[in-house]
């Protein structure tokens, strides 16, 4: 089991002249500490227009800052929105390769297509087309990294033969992932030989079934890249405190704040009737989490409480097939910065050693640090 941290970069109102600056500086301080403590990876989302929920519209800049202030922690684009109104695939390939070079071969490349109408409508994207362009982008970007010259005639994108530079340090290229927030997307990841970058909502048994089917399907995949990344990477909340009840109460406040903000988002399916988004994805789960947890109970899958409880929770996630867990450390600055840092230190001291000797699956073909 490997552990990382995950950023939406939520910024609470009221916004003063330095509010966003202070939140970003808190995040960078957490990343520096995570690197010192031995966390394996840091991920950052790409979101646009989502007031308070996420002010992370240029994750490549934030993650490059992370790389420049750390030595070992891997840098995860979680995710590149593979929709032409958001990102050009040539530029996405170039930026990713540059990030891999300046970080010393530490990039993890996540892909997705966005799910909120606020973003899709704001960018002028057609929801009926996003899955098609995502599929096209995931097939051509690894070729841009590995072929000396690349040309392409496709449905949504075409270009003449050109040399796309620079090339990534990791050979043949960085590990590739798919954001899994809707039922069935894990199977899209498996069919393409890509890692599953999902969220651990739902009970252990529910996730076990999904992971088992992902593992079965990926055995027969046609990889879009030069190798298969068969790892399951999930997102959770972390609040580790010596006192079980204090850690649980603080952690539930953290999770509740995040889920409440997510409840305000408008899913594409709610605003635009399209078969490309057949369901509401993660949002209903977040809404249930925000309102339905019995008072005094601790949700079974959340990494909140004291070290002993968190160890048992992680063992359960490990038993159902999870390879990595990335933690949301805060939401809208609900938890004071010093408590966040103390939680990270206690987790690294009391929990991480329990999993240090576990053998990790390696993405075949990865190099320069790989997965």
- In the chain the first and final C-alpha atoms are separated, in Å, by 12
Q: What is the CATH number of the domain that holds 63?
A: 3.20.20.30
Question: Comparing C-alpha atoms, which of 193, 93, 83 is closest to residue 136?
Answer: 83
Q: What is the pTM (predicted TM-score) of this model?
A: 0.91
pLDDT for 298: 83
Provide φ and ψ at 229, rounded to 5°: -105, 105
Q: Which domain holds residue 282?
A: 2-355
285-337: pLDDT as tens digits: 554 554 455 556 788 899 999 999 999 999 999 999 999 999 999 999 999 99
Instruction: Return the pLDDT at 184.
Output: 87
Higher pLDDT, 299 or 371: 299
| 363 within some domain | no
Which of the 8 DSSP states describes residue 359?
A: P
**Confidence at residue 291, expressed as pLDDT on a 0 to 100 scale:** 45
Among 102-116, 252-266, 343-357, the range scoring the smallest mean pLDDT is: 252-266
Give a yes or no: residue 34 inside a domain.
yes
The residues with which 158 forms a beta bridge, in sequence order, are: 153
Domain-embedded: residue 61: yes
Task: Decide if 67 contacts 38 (C-beta within 8 A).
Answer: no
Decide if 196 contacts 230 (C-beta within 8 A): no
For residues 315 and 215, what is the distance between their CA atoms, to the nearest angstrom? 19
Q: Does residue 371 lie within any of the structural domains?
A: no
Q: Half-sphere exposure (CA, 13 Å, Cβ side) for 210?
A: 27
- Any domain includes 261: yes
Confidence at residue 141, expressed as pLDDT on a 0 to 100 scale? 98
Decide if 368 is inside a domain. Answer: no
Count Cβ atoms within 10 A of the Cβ of residue 155 and give its class: 0-12 exposed, 13-18 middle, 19 or more buried.
Answer: exposed
User: What's the rounded mean pLDDT across residues 72-82?
Assistant: 96
* E strand map for the chain: 2-7, 41-44, 74-81, 107-112, 150-153, 158-162, 176-180, 195-199, 232-240, 303-305, 324-328
Q: Please state the domain count of the chain.
A: 1
Average of per-residue pLDDT values in the chain: 90
Q: What is the pLDDT of residues 80-99, one digit of tens each?
A: 999 999 999 999 999 999 99
- Among 215, 189, 218, 186, smallest CA distance to 202 is for 186
Share of the chain above pLDDT 90, in %: 78
Confidence band, pLDDT 50/70/90 cuts, at residue 340: very high
Task: Give bridge partners of residue 152 from the DSSP assignment.
Answer: 159
Burial class (CB in 10 A: 0-12, 13-18, 19+), 113: buried
Q: 141-186, pLDDT tens digit by residue?
A: 999 999 999 999 999 999 999 999 999 999 999 999 999 988 889 9
What is the pLDDT confidence band of residue 371, given thresholds at 50, 70 and 90? very low
Residue 367 lies in a domain: no
Backbone dihedral angles phi then psi of residue 59, each to the nearest 5 degrees: -60, -25
Q: Give yes or no for residue 101 having a pLDDT over 80.
A: yes
CA distance 137 to 356: 36
Q: Is residue 16 part of a domain?
A: yes
Instruction: Round to whole Å and give the CA distance between 92 and 191.
Output: 22
């Amino acid at each position: 089991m490997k552990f990382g941290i995950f950023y939406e970069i939520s910024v609470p109102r009221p916004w003063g002249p330095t509010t966003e600056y202070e939140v970003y500086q808190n995040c960078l301080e957490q990343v520096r500490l995570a690197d010192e403590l031995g966390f394996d990876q840091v991920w950052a989302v790409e979101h646009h227009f989502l007031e308070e929920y996420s002010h992370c519209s240029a994750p490549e800049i934030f993650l490059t800052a992370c790389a420049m202030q750390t030595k070992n922690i891997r840098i995860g684009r979680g995710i590149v929105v593979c929709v032409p109104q958001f990102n050009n695939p040539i530029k996405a390939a170039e930026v990713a390769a540059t990030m891999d070079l300046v970080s010393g071969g530490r990039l993890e490349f996540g892909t997705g297509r966005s799910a909120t109408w606020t973003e899709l409508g704001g960018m002028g994207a057609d929801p009926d087309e996003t899955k098609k362009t995502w599929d096209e982008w995931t097939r051509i970007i690894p070729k841009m990294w590995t072929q000396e010259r690349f040309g392409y005639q496709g449905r949504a994108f075409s270009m003449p033969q050109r040399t796309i530079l620079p090339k990534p340090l990791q050979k043949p290229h960085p590990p590739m992932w798919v954001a899994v927030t809707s039922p069935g997307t894990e199977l899209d990841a498996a069919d393409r030989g890509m890692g599953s970058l999902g969220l651990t909502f739902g009970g252990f048994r529910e996730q076990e079934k999904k992971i088992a089917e992902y593992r079965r399907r990926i055995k027969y995949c046609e990889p879009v890249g030069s190798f298969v990344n068969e790892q399951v990477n999930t997102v959770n909340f972390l609040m580790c405190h010596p006192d079980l009840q204090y850690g649980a109460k603080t952690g539930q406040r953290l999770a509740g704040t995040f889920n409440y903000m997510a409840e305000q988002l408008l899913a594409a399916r709610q605003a635009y009737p399209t078969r490309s988004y057949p369901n509401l994805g993660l949002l209903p789960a977040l809404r249930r989490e925000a309102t339905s947890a019995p008072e005094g109970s601790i949700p079974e899958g959340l990494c909140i409480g004291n070290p002993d409880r968190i160890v048992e929770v992680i063992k359960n996630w490990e038993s159902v097939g999870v390879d990595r867990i990335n933690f949301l450390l805060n939401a809208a600055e609900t938890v004071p910065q010093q408590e966040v840092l103390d939680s990270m230190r206690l987790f690294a001291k009391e929990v991480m050693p329990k999993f240090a000797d576990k053998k990790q699956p390696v993405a075949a073909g990865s190099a320069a640090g790989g997965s």
